[in-house]
Amino acid sequence: MKIAWFCIPAHGHTNPTLGLVKALTEAGHQVWYFSFEEFREKIENAGATFIGCDGYDFEMEDKGNADRVGKDKVYATELLVSSTLALDEMTSRVIGEIKPDIVVSDSVAFWGKLAAMKHGLPYVSSTTTFAFNKYSAKYMQESTWDIARMLVALPRINKQLKRLRDEGYPVKSLLDIVQNDNDTNTIVYTSKYFQPCSETFSDRYHFIGPSIRPVTKPMEKTADKLVYISMGTVNQNREFYRNCIHALGQTDWQVIISMGTNPEHYDQLPDNIHIYESVDQMAVLSIADAFITHCGMNSASEGLYFQVPLVLFPQTPEQDAVARRTEELSAGIRLKSISEEDILDALNQVLNNPKYKVGVARVSESFKKCGGNAEAKAFLERLTN
């Protein structure tokens, strides 16, 4: 089987796929992975052939535009169209050369889905967030104002879509691109139990569970309770971190903070608190008792897998959906504010209220019962036989 695989330049969307890619290549299948230079080594280590998408006019270099993509649909559509057309010649040439049997594309790497449409190839969505349909969409509620702005923007969006049609992409509406339906073959990296409204998805959706890599650098537990704090690499809310340090410095808990960047801003730390630029998150979570998280899907899933109750501090609508579902299943509690009192209160609740241990154990069990990479590999093999 020959697979053309597309992904966006994001660790949270790339990392969950690598175990499956490795399983496919080890079984003798060929994977050409369209991605970005930053991810070349990981992709090649999984046995795939790396196809670089760098150097094209993606208009994605400005990290400050990341928030705008989530909020401004006209801008997001223009970015999507420009990105697809920038890659069009290269993707068409490579697809013509390798003649793949199937296209697997990240659910938001829309240029992969569009390439499958243009070249008449079977398409599989690789969904590293929750799967969304009209039922689960309530977890990422849009205000009436957002919908009104979308309606006003429709003529400008349609102008962008015409650019795609002019280059041979059979696109009728924005929904053709961004929405999967129950006829869309889809791999979802979570369990049916954790997935909101899972009963509304067809059997074309394979919930294979999160991709959990082995511990590589074990961490030592030095206290009865270990609290882990990680807000991803983007969040640099210094007040939040200072409040955590001041409040938790007065406890007898071991506290590990993974900050991503700028750990040097925090000196004279209490003896029980250690700040790192990065850690082996699996190693820490395997011994942690509570996890303050931004609710990125991968981080939350890793914490839940290791039965660590979560203190939920989401920063985006996607993360808020993860927080809502975690709360519903009594596997975590939302942080009311970043005050020292609320930080301590939330941690004491997840550490001492047994309902959170029960809730997180149920989610963890659901993950471990999933079919994992073996199920996904068999699913892809059936589609091409």
DSSP secondary structure letters along 112-142: HHHHHHHHT--EEEEESS----TTGGGGG--
Q: Is residue 355 part of a domain?
A: yes
Q: Please report, for residues 152, 220, 352, the alpha-carbon distance to residue 349 in angstroms, rounded to integers and kept in the order given.
A: 45, 24, 5
Q: Is residue 218 part of a domain?
A: no
- 335: containing domain: 226-368
376 lies in the same domain as 245: no
Question: What local confidence, expressed as pLDDT, does residue 81 receive?
Answer: 79
User: Residue ranges of the alpha helices (H) in the chain?
Assistant: 11-26, 40-45, 66-71, 73-98, 110-119, 144-166, 174-178, 238-248, 281-285, 297-305, 317-328, 340-352, 354-368, 372-384
106 lies in the same domain as 239: no
Question: What local confidence, expressed as pLDDT, does residue 87 receive?
Answer: 87
Residues 6+ apart with CB under 8 A from 265: 238
pTM: 0.86
Residue 285's CB is within 10 A of a number of other CB atoms, namely: 25
200 lies in the same domain as 243: no
Q: Is residue 230 part of a domain?
A: yes
17 lies in the same domain as 166: yes
14 lies in the same domain as 84: yes
Q: Is residue 157 part of a domain?
A: yes
Q: Is residue 170 part of a domain?
A: yes
Q: Please report, for residues 137, 266, 268, 295, 382, the alpha-carbon distance to residue 278 in angstroms, rounded to integers and kept in the order given.
A: 33, 15, 19, 17, 40
170 lies in the same domain as 298: no
Q: Is residue 214 part of a domain?
A: no
14 lies in the same domain as 162: yes
Residues 6+ apart with CB under 8 A from 96: none
Q: Is residue 216 part of a domain?
A: no
177 lies in the same domain as 286: no
Calpha distance 53→14 (Å, rounded): 14
Q: What CATH number does residue 239 fall under?
A: 3.40.50.2000
Q: Is residue 124 part of a domain?
A: yes
Count how many domains the chain has.
2
112 lies in the same domain as 250: no
Residues 6+ apart with CB under 8 A from 41: none
The torsion angles phi and psi of 305, rounded to 5 degrees, stand at -55, -40
Question: What local confidence, expressed as pLDDT, does residue 95 receive?
Answer: 95
Rg over CA atoms, the chain: 22
Helix (H/G/I), strand (E/B), else coil: 226: strand
Question: What local confidence, expressed as pLDDT, does residue 291 receive?
Answer: 98
- pLDDT per position in the chain (385 positions), as tens? 999 999 988 888 999 999 999 999 999 999 999 999 999 999 999 999 999 988 775 554 444 444 444 456 666 677 777 778 888 889 999 999 999 999 999 988 888 998 998 999 999 999 998 988 878 877 766 544 454 555 556 677 777 788 888 888 877 776 667 667 788 899 999 999 999 999 999 999 999 999 898 888 899 999 999 999 999 766 667 889 999 999 999 999 999 999 876 666 667 789 999 999 889 999 999 999 999 999 999 999 999 999 999 999 998 888 999 999 999 999 999 999 999 999 999 999 999 999 999 999 999 999 999 999 999 999 999 998 8
230 lies in the same domain as 289: yes
339 lies in the same domain as 375: no
Q: Please report, for residues 67, 180, 192, 322, 369, the alpha-carbon distance to residue 202 in angstroms, rounded to integers and kept in the order given.
A: 32, 11, 12, 21, 19
Q: Measured at the alpha carbon of residue 213, what is the angle toward residues 370 and 194, in degrees to the nearest 5?
A: 35
Q: Please report, for residues 80, 96, 113, 149, the alpha-carbon distance to residue 119 in angstroms, rounded to integers and kept in the order given.
A: 18, 9, 10, 33
Torsion of CA 277, 281, 286, 288, to 10 degrees: 50
11 lies in the same domain as 86: yes
The torsion angles phi and psi of 136, rounded to 5 degrees, stand at -75, -15
Question: What local confidence, expressed as pLDDT, does residue 223 receive?
Answer: 96
